[in-house]
Amino acid sequence: MRPLPGVRLTLVSTSRQTPYSGMLPGLIAGHYSFDQIHIDLLKLCQWAGIRFIENTIVGIDLNAKEVQFDDRPPLGFDVLSLDTGSTPDLSVPGCAEHVTPVKPVSGFNARWEQLQLRLQRAEDHSSAKPVSIGVVGSGAGGFELITAIRHRLQSTTARCYWFIRGNDSIGGRPANVGELAEQAARDANIEIVRGFDVVKVDQGRLIAADGREAVLDEIIWCTAATGPDWPNAAGLDVDKRGFVATNAHLQSTSHDFVFATGDIGTQVKTPNAKAGVFAVRQAPVLFENLRRYLLDTPLKPYVPQSDFLSLMATGPQHGIANRGPAVVQGNWVWRWKNHIDQKFMNQFVDLPKLAMNESLNKLPNALASSTTSVRCRGCGAKVGGNILEQVLEELLPEALPDNRSSYSAAGDTAIVDLPTSRLVQSVDQINAIVDDPYILGRIAALHAMSDVFTLDATVHSAQVLITLPESADAIVERDLRLTMQGVLSALDEESCALIGGHTTQGADMAVGLCINATMDTDSSVVETGHSVAAGDAIILTKAIGVGTVFAGLMQGFAHGVNVNAVINSMLQSNRSAANILRQHGCTVMTDVTGFGLLGHLQKILDAIELEAQLDLTQIPMFDGALALSLLGIRSSLWEPNRSALPQLDVADTADDGLTAATLDLLFDPQTSGGLVAVVPLDASKVCLEALSEAGYISAALVGRVESKAHAEQLNDSCIRIHTSNARS
């Protein structure tokens, strides 16, 4: 919200949705939904203009100044700030194999859901013995967890146990805090097991130092955490528990360009408890010190408070509060805690609207339509098809060059006869629909190769065009390296050689590729549409809604989890889908990209001179896309796409609101979208099964080809698409 010119922020996180640990017990108890306790990092970063990368750090190269990952190239940095939390201490023999750790908190909800499924199966068998659940950990975390579980499992099929290492619980707090916590546990019918120092864990069994054993169906580990291995392996100074050692300025004692806050850091001279309250209070000082470090001015010290307010939920909407010697409890304590937690989380939900540049209001009317709204990204940033066609008609001769034997209008590929083969060539470019250069490079390459995949051609080589935002040389170099690594990773999978390219700097990042492929001179070109007949099936291999979901992200409406699903789809190559479609008799296909499903399907219909009927209820859509469409959110290319196809037959009895929102998505631009193809009807079922097995889980039969003379009656959920000649 207060950017420093010349500084780019990148947030790396394991998950796009990060939990607020203070509300985790409330989620387990059933008081909150998943969304209520999670911050949508992708949405937040999009709003704040911060690059977001979803991945898990496995190491740091402090000499090269790079963050390392398992499955992608490293990320360069100049200044590094760590707040990665702690790691469960699984040093007790058998722990790693046989317990469910609470840490990292980001993954515990998934583990909890799996545990609930196991318990549900036990409930379904009334004759089964009760399921026993044990929480190991005598601190506030263990107490809140076991009482939340007990509250959620209002069933006789579960018995709950709280294992305390010593004789007293809730260490570091006044004795009566532990007494109230233990009384709350007993009131909830939780059995407290004292003095149980776990020295070994077997499958379903805890073994204590004094020889006692406890047989359990589920073991949840909530003991004191430790530091991960990678800080020490990287060469950072660490304390005895493996946490990054820092000075008074939250700065590494060994590397001044590294900062560490929250559980991952320990101030050597003023250590504090590993509690979230300290991380929150460190944030303003961290922010100030990062700015001061970059500006080369004196840093500000962080002095941890000597005590803090502790609010513990007891399962039901009841709580225990403590600060210093004062200890109180009651339902009002839970309401107090809930108010504080909700107020904190609402900061990340109710984001201020970003004001448009006031100078835009002074532009001439002729420029207003293209500048007063945010331009979409990816294929949503394309020039409208009607404008493109008009310019090409004016500039390009009608006759084909002597050696260009044909042109695939549906597939956007040119085919040139060579002495012994045919050259297939296609070019495509997208701007930065995602802000991770590596992912953008992969998507751009897959998107560009998709046109060639629609032909029975062999990818040969490529040239790349990259525009990078104007930045310092070091940043340009890092962005270029990551982008090229992403491009090459996709090209290598197709044995496609990169033979050249060009780079430049500009206002926005963009990646384009010219793809070269070859095919035998006697190979047929499937886009001619031979053997297509009325009644053939129309298959779509991927869901639609890419442009709408990203437009929703830019406007602050889309959820990160839905955006993540779209990105995963864009990263899926169309090569296997094209091969499967050909194997099942497909004679015409094209990829669905900038001009939307209807725009690209129209090219097919014009080529085969037939019409089509689509069933809107069968068209796969990304989660959240229809809801955004109902809100009126559209990609900036939607209007040109819609104006290019002004006439569609829609059933008179159709649901106007839902049908209109669905139709909007049919004109939605798709970056690295799927394939739309015509397949013989009798082969369509087997074809869809093969597509699903190959990972195209959204593939669906969405309609049928029909002739104008034998057009069927439209039902409520269908639309009819005519050829261009029929419309005119």
Expressed as residue numbers, the domain containing 444 is 400-519
Q: What share of the chain is helix, strand, coil (3-state, %, to 5)?
A: 35, 25, 40
- The pLDDT assigned to 330 comes to 95
CATH of the domain at 483: 3.30.1330.10
Structure tokens given for 164:
């305390």
> For residues 178 and 143, what is the distance between their CA atoms, to the nearest angstrom?
9
> For residues 486 and 53, what is the distance between their CA atoms, to the nearest angstrom?
14
pLDDT tens profile 651-668: 655 556 677 888 899 999
413/503 same-domain check: yes
- The pLDDT assigned to 82 comes to 96
Which of 221, 238, 253 marks a domain boundary? 221
536/640 same-domain check: yes
If pLDDT is split at 50, 70 and 90, which confidence band does 342 have?
Answer: very high
Highest mean pLDDT among 43-47, 570-574, 708-712: 570-574
If pLDDT is split at 50, 70 and 90, which confidence band does 357 have?
Answer: very low
Q: Is the Cβ–Cβ distance between 130 and 157 less than 8 Å?
A: yes
Where helices occur in 458-592 by DSSP H, the ranges are 473-493, 546-554, 560-570, 575-583
Residue 365 has pLDDT above 70, yes or no: no
If pLDDT is split at 50, 70 and 90, which confidence band does 530 have?
Answer: low
- What global pTM score does this model have? 0.82
Q: Is the Cβ–Cβ distance between 422 and 463 less than 8 Å?
A: no
Among candidate residues 439, 668, 638, the one with its CA nearest the CA of residue 540? 668
CATH of the domain at 710: 3.90.650.10
Q: Is the Cβ–Cβ distance between 143 and 185 less than 8 Å?
A: yes
Cβ neighbors of 307 (< 8 A, separation 6 or more) are 323, 324
Q: Is the Cβ–Cβ distance between 262 and 21 less than 8 Å?
A: no
Among candidate residues 432, 434, 437, the one with its CA nearest the CA of residue 75? 437
pLDDT tens profile 382-413: 434 454 455 445 544 454 444 444 444 444 55
Higher pLDDT, 347 or 421: 347
30/108 same-domain check: no
**Beta bridge mates, 588:** 678
548/514 same-domain check: no
> For residues 418 and 595, what is the distance between their CA atoms, to the nearest angstrom?
31
- pLDDT mean across residues, the chain: 85
Question: How many structural domains are present in the chain?
Answer: 4
- The pLDDT assigned to 226 comes to 87
Rounded mean pLDDT, 201-228: 91
Structure tokens given for 549:
């979901």
693/560 same-domain check: yes
> For residues 55 and 438, what is the distance between their CA atoms, to the nearest angstrom?
12
Token pair 């929250």 is found at 262
If pLDDT is split at 50, 70 and 90, which confidence band does 125 have?
Answer: low
Which of 452, 484, 519 marks a domain boundary? 519
Rounded mean pLDDT, 182-201: 94
Token pair 């050909």 is found at 582
Rounded mean pLDDT, 458-483: 87
513/467 same-domain check: yes
557/675 same-domain check: yes
Quick one: angle between helices 41-48 and 546-554, nearest 10?
Answer: 60
pLDDT tens profile 32-49: 998 899 999 999 998 888
Q: Is the Cβ–Cβ distance between 18 and 44 less than 8 Å?
A: no
Highest mean pLDDT among 23-37, 461-475, 516-530: 23-37
- The pLDDT assigned to 585 comes to 93
642: enclosing H helix or E strand: helix 638-644
- The pLDDT assigned to 652 comes to 59
If pLDDT is split at 50, 70 and 90, which confidence band does 150 have?
Answer: very high
Residue 173 has pLDDT above 80, yes or no: yes
Count of CB atoms situated within 10 Å of the CB of 313: 29
632/557 same-domain check: yes
Q: Within 13 Å, how many C-alpha atoms sit on residue 597's CB side?
A: 29
pLDDT tens profile 89-101: 888 999 989 998 8
> For residues 353 and 129, what is the distance between their CA atoms, to the nearest angstrom?
55
Which of 221, 254, 274 marks a domain boundary? 221
Distances in Å between the Cα of 427 and the Cα atoms of 430, 496, 532 are 11, 15, 28
Residue 355 in domain: no
Residue 313 in domain: no
Residue 102 has pLDDT above 80, yes or no: yes
CATH of the domain at 260: 3.50.50.60
593/459 same-domain check: no
- The pLDDT assigned to 713 comes to 72
Rounded mean pLDDT, 353-372: 41
If pLDDT is split at 50, 70 and 90, which confidence band does 523 have?
Answer: low
657/688 same-domain check: yes
Q: Is the Cβ–Cβ distance between 595 and 645 less than 8 Å?
A: no
Q: Is the Cβ–Cβ distance between 52 and 435 less than 8 Å?
A: yes
Residue 391 in domain: no
